[in-house]
Chains A and B, each alone.
Chain A
Amino acid sequence: MNHTTVFELSGVSYSYQNRIVALRDVDLTIRAGEALVILGPNGSGKSTLLKILDGLYRPTSGRVLAFGRDITSAADDPELGYWLHQRVGLVFQEPDVQLFSPTVFDDVAFGPLQLGWPSERIRQAVLTTLNELGILHLSDRAPFELSGGEKKRVALATVLVMDPEVILLDEPTANLDPRSRVQLIELLTELHRRGRTLIIATHELDLVATLATRVVVFGEHEHRPIAEGPPELILTDRTLLLAANLIHEHLHRHGPIVHSHPHWHDAEHQHEHD
């Protein structure tokens, strides 16, 4: 493991109640500064993998290294977990679980409070983060007063305020309207440009096209990576995408033409016909 490696997983498996397999014998290395997209359909183990990387779940078997330190037991070791959470932030798929405080300000301040920052530094950091994300006006709002897009932004703010080196994002664009989606993708691009390592679990291919520097594809039934490579290579491998249940074939219309081919909806309907 060299100094630019952020995570190194060897033989990692995880199953729920020792019955339902989520991950099977995963080997994976993630380097600093990457924008890695973990691509896979629902139920392929992506979310579980993120929770293992964040030290929230202990793998059933295998070993996980983060920044060169063994974090396999971080879920059972509060001090090790605390060390990890100062460097790695996780944005959950469902923002409601992340917004548990009475106001947006309190939610964003929660992480820095746990890190023991002085009050004035916390207030300053919270206001700066909210301002950078364009949600300063939501500071006093209660979570139930927010729209879906606003909740996602606030959830991201709760992690960004702690200034982690690595940000894990679970389905970040799920259930967002087109404008909120574009804004979030632009924000993530900017974070990556500033040197943050991004690890994004998704089944949406347009995120790969716009954000990824590397893609790892998880198989629907394998629960482990079945392919890995640069986005250009993965996105043009239709057999792989079809096999992994990431694209599908069905009839659709382009002006006067109705035809069928494997595609994803956010990009490939835009193509031209002679």
Chain B
Amino acid sequence: MSRRGFVERTLLDLAEIIERTVYAEQLARRPGLLQRVDPRIKVVVLSFAILVAASLRSWPTQVALLGLLGALLLASRIPIVVLIQLLLGLPLFTLLVAAPALVLVPGPELVRLPFGASVTTTGVWSVLTLFLRVTTSIAAATALVLTTRWADLMRALRTFRVPLLFVLVFAMTYRYVFVLIELLQDLLLARRSRVLTPMPNVEQRRWLSSALGVLFQRSLRMSEQVYLAMVARGYRGEPRTLRNPTLAETDWLALSLGSAVIAALWLVDLARR
């Protein structure tokens, strides 16, 4: 198989970004457990879960919290393959980074290694604790992101006093990233269709810088047009959005139950110290 050039790689990466985003939006629309809960409640409860995960010290409570989040994700119809991909990426990397702690943290010897070094029980526990904390935090963040549509997440941020202007600018940036990605894909495809032999690196860099210039120019023009489109619909510099709907009884129930279970795990953990 021939080695892919930067154009092919970039095209594949761009396509993957769009594909992943569309897939995430589809997951967030599935009729699962967490999808039925108001995003504001999910932000509160899952942020609490992340905070608690960072402070738990005993492994049974850590495993219990991770198990709880895993069960919630499965009940929300998130495919197990997606979960494995997400949960094994960063946590495995964490294990790698934390590996030296196995021998560096002083404590009772567990396994003797060559050159006088040894793996300590304390070291193993430290690494395992870090691994569980990272995995649990990622599970909580995943539960929020994959079961909440981007637009709803943005709306939920407003409840937490994030300035409206910031939320609007953030939402619009996210929106137009996709327009620019499509434009970049077109530029790359147009280039690929006209290039018959491999281009020297200098030429590639020259092309790339001119393509970036085109993108910048286009985004400037588009921002001007978007502003005009806003003004044409009555915008006078003061951002406004619809008020969030009131919370349903089931949302309050989810808030109480979720917070109570996580708080209980925390208390159990404190009692075990």
Contacts and interface: CB of A to CB of B under 8 A. Distances in A.
A103 B229 contact: no
Interface string A81-98: 110011001101010111
A96 B178 CA distance: 10
Contacts of A51: 228
Interface residues on A, range: 35 or more
A97 B222 contact: yes
B162 to A, nearest CB: 15
A171 interface: no
Nearest to A78: B236
B109 to A, nearest CB: 56
Contacts of B151: 101-103, 106, 140, 142
In this complex, the member of A100, A143, A145 whose beta carbon has the largest number of chain B beta carbons within 10 angstroms is: A100
B175 A100 contact: yes
A159 B150 contact: no
Contacts of A101: 151, 171-172, 175
A164 to B, nearest CB: 10
Contact of A100 (B22, B154, B172): B172
B243 to A, nearest CB: 6
Nearest to A159: B233
B235 interface: yes
Interface in A45-62: 51, 54, 56
Interface of A is mostly: helix
Nearest to B223: A97
B260 interface: no
A145 B174 CA distance: 13
A97 B226 contact: yes
A158 interface: yes
Interface stretch (A33-41, A110-118, A188-196, A208-216): A110-118
Contact of A145 (B25, B179, B234): B25
A178 to B, nearest CB: 23
Contacts of A131: none
B234 A115 contact: yes
B232 A89 contact: yes
B88 interface: no
Given A97-B225, A113-B241, A113-B242, A82 B236 contact: yes
A244 interface: no
Contact of A86 (B225, B234, B241): B234
11 contacts: A51-B228, A82-B234, A82-B236, A85-B233, A86-B234, A100-B226, A111-B233, A113-B240, A113-B241, A114-B235, A162-B233
